[in-house]
Amino acid sequence: MEIDLSQFHQVFYEESFEGLDTMEQELLNLEEDSDRENINTIFRAAHSIKGGSATFGFKEVADFTHVMETLLDEMREGLRPVTKEVVDLLLKSVDCLRGMLFRMRDGEDVGDEHVELINYFNELLANEIEDASQQENVFEQSVQESLKDNCEDKVWKIEFKPKSYILETGNEPLRMFRELKGFGHLEVDAHLDNVPCFDELKAESCHIWWSLTLDSEIDEAAVKEVFEWVEDDCELNIDQVPRSNDKNVDKDQLEQPQMEEISEDIKQISSETSGQKADQEEKKQTPLVELKNKKEKSEVGTNTASTASIRVGIEKVDTLIDLVGELVITQSMLSELGENFDMSKLTQLVSGLSELEQNTRELQESVMRIRMLPIGFVFNRLPRMVRDLSSQLGKKVQLDIKGESTELDKTVMEQIGDPLTHLVRNALDHGIESAEERISADKPEEGTLTLNAFHQGGNIVIEVSDDGKGIDPDVIYKKAIEKGLINDSFDTPPEQVLSLIMEPGFSTAEVVSDVSGRGVGMDVVKRNINNLGGSVEIESELGKGTTFTIRLPLTLAILDGQLIKVANETYVLPLVSIIESVPLNMAEISRIAGDMKVYKLHDDYIPIIDLKSEFEIQQDLSSSSEGLLAIVEGENRKIALRIDELLGQQQVVIKSLETHYKSLQGVSGATILGDGRVSLILDVVGLAKRASEGANRRNNKVA
């Protein structure tokens, strides 16, 4: 059977990138404690990439991972100590591999970045052999002269009975034997007792089974690993038996020719499998042609396939299927009801419709859940950065990650990466002091940077905290006045002073370093997070540390909205932003500073925005004096919106205005209501900004 491999390329790349991520993480853990399991994980990841790339014929990648694997193998065997040098080299290789795979995926040349690294690997490996212990030599030579070794008294006895379809799954026994041979002396016995007569012989099937004898010190897991890919497709018995010398000698003489014979067999089978010798048997020609056609079709399919995909847990899909099943039942119930409907069935209809609503909502929720991924995907790229950066800055930093399994929407996650990276960079550069400073401040030499994620209400909260020197509000205050961001005459509350560092053009770093301090950054962080509908809060205690708290909505696509009416227009206010609403005639409204209207809520005076005039809505009828004030809050700023009516509450699907138009300040997007009309979603923060900017404009005009 011929399989078009290119259709699997996408999967290969995805898995390889995942593997590389795993390797990176494990390599970073390797520094602290060299656990065998860590190395095994790295080894497995490298091995999968090697296997995959060899299967798909990406020779450069396969060769490169091979030398990596050799080095890792030595580490796994305990022959090579885990040193910073080696870890650095491996990390560099991970970067290099990632680059190679990226370039290959984009159809570019793989480049020669890896050649240098391969040489370096070889150098390192060769060095080791020269000054290595005897063991290494023994290991090397064991392939040729295993019989002369007598330190081992047990051998592995493997019975490998593959199912007949093993070759169709892309697994080739010859490769596995070759790999086993790498561990030590290998004897292979082929059993041909299951091979049918020639007429019934199928070239795609494997009728041979093997018994193997492996003379090596490796453990059972390693042997099993060779058969990892085929475990389910074969009968496998692995036993450790005492060495019987006579048998070995006997077998050894047989081994060479037999091995070759088998190679021949397999070669023939595999060459026939590849489908290139289509003319060998007449009766095969037709199916092969069909397969070729299929191949062409599937090529067309791959081209159109989207590049982005997510992995979804099977239980999520199962829930979805259950829900769809319920939906179908409800639907058929309703359509039956509709076929001969009379008023007596009204209650049935009502209950049916509410069931439908329930089903739809559940379905919607679980579809949304499919897009949810653990935040670990973002967190996991940070340890590497912290490691590199802290050594670059000469600081000692311990990174603590909590709540990696907290799930959030994929889109949110993609966009939170950069702001998060920035916050971590800032914490390392500005927050955590150098070791000397820390010791003199009576703190542990090693700084701690904590990343924490958890759910709170409908939000996900991400905290980035350090135990560094904290932010001095006085410095910020002075700097802000100096830069003209605030007016000296206002008394700014402390929490607002700190948030000034997120204003554009603000940087407190006395020296602009490579890492941060150019004054762009925090404002970008804030803007990115605001764009996601989230907020950032800063808490800081001088000398104790700083905590940035990012609050994000779980999903971007859906919002709990309150519909409001202004003149003839319907708008949506995010339900979370509404504090209260009061009838206009009962509201305590004062006029201050000339023409500015404010509403008194408890002890606060809140500016009132009349949406009708703010949005320049033209109304056909003269406005009634009736109306409401909706008090809304965003980013700790409260404003009162003068509106005409409160309508219902509903969940709305957020659509972007920017797809075909521009973004508008005060409007975060649009949605489509039940009647098919478009309604705009108001953005409280933007409106508050507009209000204050408007006030400034008016002031300037007066002045």
Partner 1 sequence: MPSEIMKVIQNQEVNFSDTNMMADETGSQYLSFVVGEEEFSVSILKVQEIRAWEKPTFLPNSPHYIKGVLNLRGTIVPVMDLRMRFKFKQNHYGATTVIIIFKNSKKEKESLMGCVVDGVSDVFNLEESFIRDIPEYGSDIDSRFTSGIMTVNNNAVTLLNLENLLDLNLINHPYSGGQVVNG
Q: Does 701 bind partner 1 (CB under 8 A)?
A: no
535-541 and 628-634 beta bridge pairing: unpaired
Tokens of 461: 């909260």
Q: Does 696 bind partner 1 (CB under 8 A)?
A: no
Using the rule CB under 8 A, which residue among 21, 367, 686, 698 binds partner 1?
A: 686
Torsion, Cα of 629, 634, 638, 643 (10° steps): -10
Q: How many CA atoms lie within 13 A of 435 on its CB side?
A: 10
Q: Does 19 bind partner 1 (CB under 8 A)?
A: no
Using the rule CB under 8 A, which residue among 44, 98, 191, 655 binds partner 1?
A: 655
648, containing H or E segment: strand 645-653
List Cα–Cα distances, 393 to 197, 385, 423, 519, 522, in angstroms: 73, 12, 16, 19, 20
CB of 9 to partner 1, least distance (A): 24
Stretch that binds partner 1, among 294-302, 444-452, 598-606, 677-685 (CB under 8 A): 677-685
Identity of the residue, 504 or 517, whose beta carbon is nearer to partner 1 in the bound complex: 504
CB of 438 to partner 1, least distance (A): 37
The footprint of partner 1 on residues 556-595 (CB under 8 A) is 569
Using the rule CB under 8 A, which residue among 539, 635, 646, 649 binds partner 1?
A: 635
Using the rule CB under 8 A, which residue among 634, 638, 639, 642 binds partner 1?
A: 634
Identity of the residue, 292 or 689, whose beta carbon is nearer to partner 1 in the bound complex: 689
CB of 667 to partner 1, least distance (A): 6
Contact in structure between 545 and 467 (CB atoms under 8 Å): yes
Q: Does 519 bind partner 1 (CB under 8 A)?
A: no
Using the rule CB under 8 A, which residue among 37, 232, 279, 661 binds partner 1?
A: 661
Contact in structure between 427 and 546 (CB atoms under 8 Å): yes
Stretch that binds partner 1, among 180-188, 356-364, 441-449, 666-674 (CB under 8 A): 666-674
3-state secondary structure 663-692: CECCEEEEEECCCCCEEEEECHHHHHHHHH
Using the rule CB under 8 A, which residue among 358, 665, 696, 699 binds partner 1?
A: 665
Contact in structure between 685 and 526 (CB atoms under 8 Å): no
Contact in structure between 430 and 475 (CB atoms under 8 Å): no
CA distance 551 to 460: 6
Q: Does 32 bind partner 1 (CB under 8 A)?
A: no
Stretch that binds partner 1, among 26-34, 254-262, 315-323, 656-664 (CB under 8 A): 656-664
The residue to which tokens 């007429």 are assigned: 199
Identity of the residue, 191 or 689, whose beta carbon is nearer to partner 1 in the bound complex: 689
Cα angle 203, 207, 208 (rounded to 5 degrees) comes to: 120
Q: Does 60 bind partner 1 (CB under 8 A)?
A: no
Identity of the residue, 428 or 685, whose beta carbon is nearer to partner 1 in the bound complex: 685
Cα angle 230, 233, 234 (rounded to 5 degrees) comes to: 90
Query: Taking every pair of C-alpha atoms in the chain, what is the biggest distance, in angstroms?
Result: 110
Q: Does 684 bind partner 1 (CB under 8 A)?
A: yes
Number of residues that bind partner 1 (CB under 8 A): 41
CB of 1 to partner 1, least distance (A): 39
Q: Does 597 bind partner 1 (CB under 8 A)?
A: no
Contact in structure between 631 and 607 (CB atoms under 8 Å): no
Using the rule CB under 8 A, which residue among 317, 579, 672, 695 binds partner 1?
A: 672
DSSP 431-474: ISPPHHHHHHTTS-SSEEEEEEEEEETTEEEEEEEE-S----HH
Q: Between 126 and 165, how does the x/- string for binding to partner 1 read (CB under 8 A)?
A: ----------------------------------------
CB of 299 to partner 1, least distance (A): 23
CA distance 188 to 273: 23
> Would you please indicate which residues are annotated as catalytic (active-site) residues?
47, 69, 426
Q: Does 177 bind partner 1 (CB under 8 A)?
A: no
3-state secondary structure 78-136: CCCCCCHHHHHHHHHHHHHHHHHHHHHHCCCCCCCHHHHHHHHHHHHHHHHHHHCCHHH
Tokens of 16: 């390889």
Q: Does 656 bind partner 1 (CB under 8 A)?
A: yes
CA distance 168 to 206: 9
Q: Does 659 bind partner 1 (CB under 8 A)?
A: yes
Stretch that binds partner 1, among 125-133, 136-144, 349-357, 671-679 (CB under 8 A): 671-679
Using the rule CB under 8 A, which residue among 663, 692, 696, 699 binds partner 1?
A: 663
Q: Does 459 bind partner 1 (CB under 8 A)?
A: no
Q: Does 615 bind partner 1 (CB under 8 A)?
A: yes
CA distance 481 to 489: 10
CA distance 460 to 653: 19
Task: Name the amino acid, one letter, at 126.
Answer: A
CB of 615 to partner 1, least distance (A): 4
Identity of the residue, 162 or 634, whose beta carbon is nearer to partner 1 in the bound complex: 634
Using the rule CB under 8 A, which residue among 14, 217, 437, 614 binds partner 1?
A: 614
Q: Does 610 bind partner 1 (CB under 8 A)?
A: no
Q: How many CB atoms lie within 10 A of CB 199?
A: 5
Stretch that binds partner 1, among 51-59, 260-268, 290-298, 530-538 (CB under 8 A): 530-538
Residues that bind partner 1 (CB under 8 A): 504, 527, 530-531, 533-535, 569, 614-617, 634-635, 655-657, 659-670, 672, 676-680, 683-686, 689-690
